[in-house]
Amino acid sequence: MKILTGNDLATGDVVWWTGSGWSRHVEDAADVGDQGEAIAHAEEGARRVNSPYVIDGEQSDSGPRPAHIKDRVRALGPTVRPDLTLKPADPDAANRVL
């Protein structure tokens, strides 16, 4: 699958395109097919996202999973500070990034 991601312009938060808007959670990411660039262009123009880009991903048991480790770290947060990630209560979350 193709996933569209970027950062919120004002806050810098990592965001994922859901098909109708932007979510902080990669689990909400939609498969954008070949529409990623077009959506990115429109959304960036409207300042709803900063520096969007399309990545490869796959559907897993827990939802969409970015193909590259860098985007999996982005999706979770720093593996060395579980308390600052999106899954602070899940001790195994960092291992699933690998």
- Residues forming contacts to other proteins in the complex (CB under 8 A) are 7, 9-14, 44, 47, 50-51, 67-70, 73-74, 77-81, 84
- From residue 25, give the alpha-carbon distance in Å to each of 29, 45: 7, 22
C-beta of 21 vs 81, nearer to other proteins: 81
From the CB of 50, what's the least distance to other proteins, in Å?
Answer: 6
From the CB of 52, what's the least distance to other proteins, in Å?
Answer: 10
83 φ, ψ to 5°?
-65, -20
From the CB of 72, what's the least distance to other proteins, in Å?
Answer: 10
C-beta of 19 vs 88, nearer to other proteins: 88
Q: Which residues contact 61 (CB under 8 A, 6 or more apart)?
A: none
C-beta of 52 vs 64, nearer to other proteins: 52
Q: Which residues contact 40 (CB under 8 A, 6 or more apart)?
A: 4, 6, 49, 52, 53, 54
From the CB of 48, what's the least distance to other proteins, in Å?
Answer: 11
